[in-house]
Each structure stands twice: as C-alpha cells, then as structure tokens.
Structure 1
Amino acid sequence: MKKVLSKLIAFFVRLWNSPIVVTLRKLMSENIRQYGMILALIGIMIFFAITTGGISLKPLNISNLLLQNGHILILAVGMLIVILTGNIDLSVGSVAAFVGAIAGIMMIKNDYPIIPSVFVALSIGIAAGAWNGFWIAYIRIPAFIVTLGGMLIFRGLTLAVLGGVTLGPFPDAFNAISSGFLPDTLDFLNLEDFHLTTVIIGILFSLLYIVNVYFSRTKKQKYDFEVAPLWVTILSTSFILFALNLFTFTLALYRGFPNISIILFIVLAIYVFLTTKTVFGRHVYAMGGNYEAAKLSGVKTKFTMFMVYTNMGLLAAVSGLVYAARLNAATPKAGNLFELDAIAASFIGGASASGGVGSVIGAVIGGLVMGVINNGMSIMSLGIDWQQVVKGLVLLLAVWFDIATKNKSK
C-alpha cells in the first residue's frame, strides 16, 4: 500500500512539473482575472443546471437570459470605461429612465416617428453625459458627488415629464428591439422548429475568429513578440469555437438570435476596438493607471475624462431605449438600481477598483455572471431578499479577488 501511494505521489509530482502543466499554470497566473471569471461563469451555469434539473440551460431560458439582461450588459460596457479612469457613475439608471420617458412621450403621447424619436432620445443621453463630464473634468468636482447629483436630477425630471404615470404601449416596430428575433432568411432547407440562420451565423463567426487568431499570432511572431505555444492556441481556440457554436445551436432550437443580441454585438465590437486599438483607449487606461503621469506624458486628461462621461451618457440612453422596448412602456420606476448592477458587472468581470485594469469582454462576462445567478435563483424560487444577499456576496468576493491577485503580483 505504501509503495502504491508513493508511486501515485511521484506521478502527480511529475505531472505537476511537466512542461504542459507548467505552461498552463503560467498562462493561468498571467491571465487569472479573465480565465477566473470564465471558469466561474461555467461553474455557476453547471451548478444551476444541476439544481434546476436542467431548466436553466433550456433554449427558451438562454434566450430569456439575453432578453432580460441586454440593457445591463450595454450599461456595463460604458461603466467599465468609467471605472478604468478610477471613477464611477451613479446617474446612469436615472439617465436611462429619463431617456425612456422622453421616447415614450414622443412616440406614444405625440405619435412621432420612431427614428427621429430615437435620435432625440440618444441626443438627450449624450447631453446628460456631457453635463456630468463638464463638472467632473473641467470644474474638478469629484465624480461621486456629480453623478449622485445627476441621479437625483434625472430621476426628478423623469417623474416630472411623465407626471408620475406610465405610458404605453410603444409602436410594434420599436417594441421589436427587445422582444423581436432575427428572421430565418437563410433557411434553404425549410426546417421546422430550427433556426438555421443562427447556426450559419455561428459558423461564419467561427471562421472569422480563426482568421483573427491566425493573423494575430503571425503578426506577433513577425515582430518577435512572445506567443503561447501552438498547442495552447489550438486548445483555447477549439474551446471558444465549441462554446460559440453550442450557444448558437441552443438558440437555434428556440427562435434564434434575439434582436437585442445584435445590438449587444455591435456595441461590443465598437468598444473592444475603441479600448484596444485606439489612442483614446490607451489614454483611458493610462489615466486609470496614474492620472498625473498620464497628464505629464501629454494626455489631454480633461478632454478624455469629458468624453468618457459623454460616452457613458450615450450608452445609458441606448440601455434606456432597450429597457423601455422590453417593458413596452415608459415608467417612472425604470432604471432603478441599474447603476449598481453595471458597477457590479464591471468589478466581477475583472475591473480594478483603483482603475487602469479591466476589459470590455470581462465586463460582459461579469454581467452574464450576475444574470445567470439572478435567473437561476428565480427558477429555484429563491426570495428577492436572499437574491440580494447572494449578489452582494458575489460582488464582495470579486473585489477581494482583485485585491488578492494584485498583492500576489507585487
């Protein structure tokens, strides 16, 4: 027995120190924020799949997950950029409510066309963000105070313009933003109860991802940058492709891609590019890392901060329109606690409370973690009181994880 035990221990020691495991350990330690949240999301989904008897993974429920959390995921993208500068925005929920109220008054009460109404609503969101940005960037009032004031101002304006009553319903075309689905225009096989267009889109995105990985790796090798071993790239790419196509196949079993997923993808594509490939993105990260150093390096810190909050106003407006379309009504209580959900999604997704660290994809993953937890607990008929307790604990653990990994890296 002792010989068998000693052989097992020796085997595991050799395995732990083998080149493959050492490489995986190095990748995990260097990317612990991103990989940690992805693994946490997978673990949470498996947990609720077991505890709900598989209900949480049914196509209808996966589709509802996107429909119910799309507005928060959009907000989380904007909030991530704000948090990268080391600040927060407490006014986004009120701005979203105000924008929804304006859209309701224009489309429902005055019967204005949808496109001009949406344009006006987005312009108001931009103006609200610019209002916050002016006081924060140029007058140098702390962001907490300015956005707290904005939360009260725009909530009051929402109550004033709606007169305390709910307006509805919106026109069907506007309501389709959050309740509609992509039509199955590519179903050349005439399949019933299967959305072939969604599967084809998933395959096309898979091919684009493979091409992107190939050219990204080739470019790094051309300039002698360090790249992961080929087998690691193949393994990680295969995992992502499997997850992507499993997701699209699951959606195809119901009604395919919800329209909100298309809006969310466009937002993601724009802001991933903005934060990783543009001067503005580099300046935002630099300001969060060290504001004074960024200023001395030539970064236009005031203008950049102004644009960060203006952008937050735009995304709050988009979120408000999406939420109003989902409710099919403009209500004074819209946007309640949206800011806290967006902040929680950003921190859970790996953003640092001190700024300068985080990613758009991470914020979306954090939002999905919160969405899966909410959805799973609702299916389990867990009361709203305990749901709040669990969400608070998850946020606390996420920030603790950020501090722990930062201290370890030092």
Structure 2
Amino acid sequence: MEKKKTVNLNLKQYGMVFAMLIIFIIFYVMTGGVNATPMNMNNLIMQNSYVIILATGMLLCVLTGNVDLGVGSYVALCGAVAAKLIVENNMNIPLAFLITILVGVAFGAFNGFFIAYLNIPPFVVTLAGMLIGRGLTYTLLESKTVGPLPNAYVKVGAGFFASSKIEFGGGTLDIITILVAVIATVLVIGAELKTIKTQQKYGFAMAPTWQTGIKVAATLAILWFFFFKIASYNGIPIILLLMAVIVGIYHFVTSKTVAGRQVYALGGNEKAARLSGIDTKKVYFWVYTNMGFLAAIAGIVLSARNASATPKAGDGFELDAIAACYIGGAAASGGVGTVVGAVIGAFVMGILNNGMFLIGLSTDLQKVVKGLVLLGAVTFDVLSSKKKN
C-alpha cells in the first residue's frame, strides 16, 4: 500500500509537466511548428524571465497564505529608477543597479513592516503598494519613456554569452550550450541516483523502476530539446544564467534551510508555528522584503530587454506571478508549494501567452483563457484537498 501511495504522489507531482508538454504540442500543431523554432524558444525564455523571477519570490508569499499585489508596480518603479540614473544622470551601471535594488528592498521592507509589526492584512498593504508604486513611477518618469539604455545595460536582458560554434546538420551549434546540456544531464542523473540511495538507506517506499526511468527519460528529453534549440540560435542568454542562479538559491533556501521550513510552518498553521517558537513577525518581514528585492531584479531585466523604462511597464505582472505559483501546485491556503513548481507554472503561462500570440488570438480572449486556466488550477487544488481530508 505504501508503494502505491508513493506512485500516486509522484504522478501528481509531475502532472503539471505533462500538462505543459500537452499545451506545447497543441500549439505546435496549431502554429505549424513555429512555436518550436530556435528563435521562438529564445523569445520564450526572454519574455518570461521576469515572470519566473517574480514567481520565485511570490511563492514565499503564497506559502504564508497571502500574495503581493504590488510587484508589477515595483518592477516599473525600479526599472524607472535605473533608467533615470543611467540616462539622465550618467551614473555607472553597477552603482545604478545597486541603488535600484536598494529601492526595491526598501519598498519590500515598507510592506513587511505594516504586515508583520502592525498586523495590517497583506492584501490591503500590497494593494496600497501597487497604487503608490505606480504613482511614483509616473511621477518619476513624468509619464514619458526614458531611453535608449546603453548596450552594456541592455545586454543583461537581451545579451548572450560569447562562444564559438560548430557545424551540425547544415547549421551551427553553440559549443557552450551543448557543454551545459551535458553537465545538466549528469546532474539530473546524479540527483536521481542520490535520491534512490537515500530512500534505500532509510527504508523509504520507492517508486517502481519503470516510473523512475520514464521520469528521467522525459526530463532529459525536454532538457536536450530545449538546449538544442537555443544552441541552434545564439547560444545561452545571459538572463537564463541569472534565472538559474536565482531558482537554484531559492530552491535550496525553501527545501534545505531553517528559514525555508519556518515559511512552510507559518503557512501551514500560524498559531502552531508561533507556539513552537518561530518568530512569525520576522518571517513575514523577510518574505515581503525579499519580494521587493526580486521585483528590483525583474525591473532591471525588463527595462534591459525593452532598452527603456516606461510608466506602464510591469502592468499585470503580479497576476502572472501569482498564477504561476498556483498553477505550479502551490495551495491557495498556504503551506504547500515548491520553487520548481512555480517555475513550471510560469512556463505554462509563458507557453500559453506565446502560443495564443502566434495563432493571432485577441488579447481579450487571451485573458479569458488565462483566467480559466488559473481558476481550474486552484479549483483542482481545493477539491483535491477536500477529497484528501
């Protein structure tokens, strides 16, 4: 019985990956393969980089049972700060980035103070933050676009790592990208072998060998398809490395550190967490301060990709980030969710957006589809929780 239970848990965990593949295949058929071209795969990364960064931070808010409605405005404000400092004040880029990040952290700490120490509901605080941030952005930019930004800045969001190429199948492949794919393959296989060894050591129930084999094979197939496509284009985007570092750090924090466990405990039962000795106010404060930090990073990335800062930048990003967390398996009530799941959810939203754009679906209908997908994901989570209870 225990082994059967483990199989069900694994199937549920990877169900969203299969859903993402199905959505991709549907749009592949509908677009005649356009969504799988190297150029479009590269665009998929760059267009969703800031959503993935925001979803990583938003997951921590969702784990506490709340959200941050202001991240889109923080993205716009931080992008505006960086652009004004560089374009109009001729400040060097590293210093401008540092000041921009400090602005984001300050905004996050502002929210965290009201939420953690004044017990104001996060919904109200972050809604106010959304309005304040957007208003400050329009004021700072004087309702105008600031740009163009220098190439060194733009490279952060739209640049590639320089590398030599080799001839392959009538085209070229980027050597560094292929080497990264090989390293990633070794890491995936090594991680799976380590998990199996740990399960055997402690006598945990294990998934059948065939299931593990399918999971690893599917993971490697997706990995090589992805890396082959970007290797056929311009190689590894700089933003991809930045995303990988952020996702890796926050995956480690949430799964391997005391701070991460405290966030899960807070979301699971705040009163029990407080009685067990966890400083819940401190947890709330750092979670929302961290959201401001990642919003600043996303603001820099977005303005770099656009080569300018605009007052309407980041509009609706908070909804995409929240949707990515819920679609990726985070519970609406808090206490359940993973960084990897949020990233997968972000890619689901990205593939949907990209596919609907390619088939020429109107922006109005795109919002309807995204709303139905979000509602379906949350409904599935709620019904599954009721069934389990």
The one-letter amino acid of 2:51's match is I
Counterpart CA distance in 1 for 2:341 and 2:256 is 17
Is 1:338 matched with 2:309? no
Q: Cα distance, 1:27 vs. partner?
A: 4.6
2:23 alignment partner, one of 44, 47, 59? 44
Counterpart CA distance in 1 for 2:181 and 2:62 is 32
- Could you tell me whether the CA contact under 8 Å between 2:6 and 2:205 is conserved in 1? no
Q: Hey, what does 2:367 align to over in structure 1?
A: 388
For structure 1, which runs of at least 5 residues remain unmatched after alignment?
A: 1-18
The alignment covers a number of residue pairs equal to: 387
What are the superposed Cα offsets for residues 149-184 of structure 1, whole Å, 9 maximum, x if unpaired?
Answer: 111111111111111111001110110111111221
Q: Report the more deviating stretch, 348-357 or 237-246.
A: 237-246
Instruction: Kindly report which structure 2 residues correspond to 1:11-410, keeping only aligned pairs within 5 A, or say none.
Output: 26-27=5-6, 29-31=8-10, 33-185=12-164, 187=165, 189=166, 193-410=172-389
3-state SS, counterpart of residue 194 of structure 1: strand
Counterpart CA distance in 1 for 2:277 and 2:203 is 29
Q: Cα distance, 1:243 vs. partner?
A: 1.6
Counterpart CA distance in 2 for 1:207 and 1:321 is 33
For structure 2, which runs of at least 5 residues remain unmatched after alignment?
A: none
Tell me: CA distance 1:81–1:190, structure 2 relative to 1, closer, same or farther (3 Å). Answer: same
Tell me: CA distance 1:33–1:142, structure 2 relative to 1, closer, same or farther (3 Å). Answer: farther
- Normalising by the residue count of structure 2, what TM-score does the alignment of the two structures yield? 0.96
Counterpart CA distance in 2 for 1:34 and 1:313 is 29
Q: Cα distance, 1:132 vs. partner?
A: 0.3
Q: Cα distance, 1:232 vs. partner?
A: 3.0
The one-letter amino acid of 1:205's match is A
Counterpart CA distance in 1 for 2:27 and 2:135 is 39
- Normalising by the residue count of structure 1, what TM-score does the alignment of the two structures yield? 0.91
Counterpart CA distance in 2 for 1:107 and 1:85 is 37
Counterpart CA distance in 1 for 2:240 and 2:346 is 14
- Could you tell me whether the CA contact under 8 Å between 2:6 and 2:206 is conserved in 1? no
Q: Report the more deviating stretch, 168-177 or 212-221.
A: 212-221
Counterpart CA distance in 2 for 1:353 and 1:200 is 39
Counterpart CA distance in 1 for 2:373 and 2:167 is 45
Segments ≥4 residues shifted beyond 6 Å? none
3-state SS, counterpart of residue 214 of structure 2: helix
Q: Hey, what does 1:13 align to over in structure 2?
A: none
3-state SS, counterpart of residue 112 of structure 1: coil
- Could you tell me whether the CA contact under 8 Å between 1:28 and 1:35 is conserved in 2? no
Counterpart CA distance in 2 for 1:278 and 1:195 is 37
Tell me: CA distance 1:221–1:32, structure 2 relative to 1, closer, same or farther (3 Å). Answer: closer
- Could you tell me whether the CA contact under 8 Å between 1:34 and 1:349 is conserved in 2? no
> How big is the alpha-carbon RMSD for the aligned residues of Structure 1 and Structure 2?
1.7
The one-letter amino acid of 2:160's match is F
- Could you tell me whether the CA contact under 8 Å between 2:154 and 2:307 is conserved in 1? yes
Q: Cα distance, 1:244 vs. partner?
A: 0.9
